[in-house]
Amino acid sequence: MTQVDVLLGLQWGDEGKGKIVDVLSPQYDLIARFQGGPNAGHTLEFDGKKFVLNTIPSGIFNEKTMNLIGNGVVIDPIILKRELDNLKAAGHDPVGKGKLAIARKAHLILPTHQLLDAANEQKMGKDKIGSTLKGIGPTYMDKTGRNGLRVGDTTLPDFKERYNKLVQKHKDMLSHYNFEYDLTEKEAAFFEAIEFIKSIPHVDSEHYVNGFLKEGKTVLAEGAQGTLLDVDFGSYPFVTSSNTTTAGACTGLGIAPNKVGHVYGIFKAYCTRVGGGPFPTELDNEVGETLRSVGHEFGATTGRARRCGWIDLPALKYAIMLNGVTDLIMMKADVLDGFDSIYACTHYEHNGETIDYMPYDIITVQPIPVLKEIEGWKTDVTKITAVDQIPAKLADYIAFLEKELQVPVKFLSVGPDRTQTLELN
Ligand code: GDP
Ligand code: IMO
Ligand code: MG
């Protein structure tokens, strides 16, 4: 029997998961998204075209690969329909080609979940999480609170009554906020989209994925967000509302832990974060500005400027431990091409001590990064196509990271295009 490989982000999201899932997808029979929702924005570039996927797995552009939206994902039917309409207009029709299935047990994001997200953030003022305002938190709250509506419910004769009951609860909650809203247009779009998603095959993801494994087929689980946004282990409360770690792939698809094979941990050669919360290596200066402009660090979903900083090794070690990472993938090395020196945080100074882990009180007492200087390679790497063309100083940087992190770097990405990817070792 085959096992499920997992690919997930090791930082605060936007590491380049979409690009690499697309690159790896020819090796897999099934690509399955396991958590998060349209807060994700996964960018793919090939043949001079660029696509941003929010809910749809990034295997969609590979002719032979099947794609599944797993039970751990929260689905906004309006956004999913828009994504599929846009893809169709661009000549890609995964539904028509039978290349997309959706888990019956995946929860639905209602228009009122988005209103609650916005009302809550507005109330928090300067302490807000910096949510993408897609209704993620309130939808997972209804899931764990056992009130939620699921994809499978849309075919029940009393779906509308169930919807009205939940919306009434949300309206009661909204009455406690000073928050203006008009639901009419959104509700009409919601029910139109619900009709549309009935045309996508609904499956039990646990049987579906295990069925692939029994037949000896290959499966890649695609994560969203990043480990440091995990609801249990991230910088709580500045996190998302799902388990973004390998454990989330088990609950988000219905696979047992012993069915997990390779775990690909993906990280940028530096670090970014969008939204609020601690970020020890943040560069709130010209250097950060340079990383942002060279790396085009603006959110794929919200367009917000991403906060930028140096690579954080204590945070990466933590993420590798939590996920059982077997292979590392380093992204956006090209963004550092012009730097004379780059820096890596090896430890933190925290409450008078030197530590090499993320402390519990990171929210209240920001640790001070201890940085190691690394000589830059000062070479354009965007056109290199073979391992022997990697500049010696970039190779040294990779070797340094492998030694620190004790996991091999299997792929190196030197540009946003599919072709700008090198397999190492
Ligand atoms: P994801 O959410 O993890 O899929 O990542 P995003 O798509 O939100 O952000 C990654 C951004 O970096 C996208 O704009 C990609 O096109 C781009 N990108 C990916 N890999 C590379 C790379 O190696 N170099 C450069 N310069 N850009 C990259
Ligand atoms: P991908 O999959 C980066 C961040 C938000 C906010 C926090 C909570 O593209 O890497 P939420 O909308 O989940 O309530 O927001 O999490 N966030 C992301 N940051 N990449 C993402 O996804 C993110 N999804 C959520 O900015 O700080
Ligand atoms: Mg993204």
pLDDT digit string, tens, across residues 198-222? 999 999 999 999 999 999 999 999 9
Q: What percent of the chain has pLDDT over 90?
A: 97
Which two tokens mark 225? 């967000």
**Distance between CA 162 and CA 154 in Å, rounded?**
10
For residue 100 the two structure tokens come to 């997309």
Give the per-residue pLDDT at 424: 97
Protein residue with its CA nearest to atom 8 in ligand 1: 14
Q: For residue 75, how far is its CA from the centre of ligand 3 (angstroms)? A: 17
Q: Reduce the DSSP state of residue 123 to 3 states and report it.
A: helix
- pLDDT surpasses 80 at 230: yes
As for ligand 2, residues whose beta carbon falls within 6 Å of it are 9, 12-14, 39-42, 129-132, 134, 136-137, 224-226, 229, 240, 274-275, 300
> How close is the Cα of 169 to the center of ligand 1, in Å?
39
Mutation test residue for ligand 1: of 291, 332, 398, 412, the one with most atoms within 8 Å of CB? 332
- Residues with Cβ within 8 Å of residue 73, at least 6 apart in sequence: 33, 34, 35, 36, 37, 55, 103, 106, 252
Joined tokens for residue 398? 């990779």
User: What are the tokens at 182?
Assistant: 């008009």
From the list 270, 293, 301, the residue with the least C-alpha distance to 371 is 270
**Catalytic residue positions, numbered:** 14, 42
In the structure, what pLDDT confidence band is assigned to residue 298 with cuts at 50, 70 and 90? very high
Under 8 Å between Cβ of 251 and 33? no
The Cα 230–Cα 249 span in angstroms is 12
Q: If you average pLDDT over residues 261-281, what whole number do you get?
A: 97
Tell whether the model's pLDDT for residue 1 goes beyond 90. no
Q: What is the mean pLDDT of the chain?
A: 97
Nearest CA to 78 among 135, 124, 30? 135
- Of 5, 13, 6, 31, nearest to 267 by C-alpha is 13
* pLDDT exceeds 80 at position 182: yes
Q: What are phi and psi of 86, to 5 degrees?
A: -65, -40
Note whether 152 and 106 are within 8 A (CB).
no
Is residue 47 over pLDDT 80? yes
Question: What is the per-residue DSSP string for 279-312?
Answer: -TTB--SHHHHHHHHHTT-B-TTT-PBPEEE-EE
**Measuring CA to CA, how many Å separate 258 from each of 4, 231, 246, 247?**
9, 23, 12, 11
Q: What is the pLDDT of residue 302?
A: 83
Q: What is the average pLDDT across 338-353?
A: 97
Q: Whose CA is nearest to atom 11 of ligand 1?
A: 16
pLDDT classification of 59: cutoffs 50, 70, 90 = very high
The 3-state DSSP class for residue 253 equals helix
pLDDT in tens, 108-120: 999 999 999 999 9
How far is residue 225's CA from residue 243's CA, in Å, rounded to a whole number?
9
pLDDT in tens, 388-423: 999 999 999 999 999 999 999 999 999 999 999 999
Cα 297 from chain centroid (whole Å): 15
Q: Which residues pair with 81 in a beta bridge?
A: none
Cα 228 to middle of ligand 2, angstroms: 10
Assess contact for 328 and 311: CB atoms under 8 A: no
Contact 266, 59 (CB under 8 A): no
H or E element that contains 398: helix 392-405
Q: Which two tokens stand for residue 311?
A: 């690579």
The ligand with the least distance to the CA atom of 380 is 1
Torsion angle of alpha carbons 201, 202, 206, 209, nearest 10°? Answer: 10
Nearest residue (CA) to ligand 1, atom 2: 14
pLDDT for residue 57 is more than 90: yes
Pull the structure tokens for residue 233.
């282990």
* Structure confidence at residue 259 (pLDDT): 98
Instruction: Give the residue-averaged pLDDT of 339-362.
Output: 95
Q: What is the largest CA-CA distance in the chain?
A: 65
Interval 217-233 mean pLDDT: 98
Judge whether residue 178 has pLDDT over 90. no
Q: What is the average pLDDT across 334-348?
A: 98
> Is residue 4 left, alpha or beta, with left meaning phi > 0 and alpha meaning psi from -120 to 50?
beta
Q: What is the distance in A from the centroid of ligand 1 to the CA of 214? A: 34
Counting ligands in written order, the one closest to the CA of 44 is: 1
Mean pLDDT in residue range 12-38: 98
* Residue 337 CB partners (closer than 8 Å, separation 6+): 376, 377, 378, 379, 380, 381, 382
| Cα 359 to Cα 280: distance, rounded to the nearest angstrom | 11
Which amino acid belongs to residue 62? N
Is a pLDDT exceeding 80 seen at residue 71?
yes
Q: Any idea which of 171-175, 338-342, 363-367, 396-400 has the lowest mean pLDDT?
A: 363-367
| Tokens standing for residue 180 | 């203006």
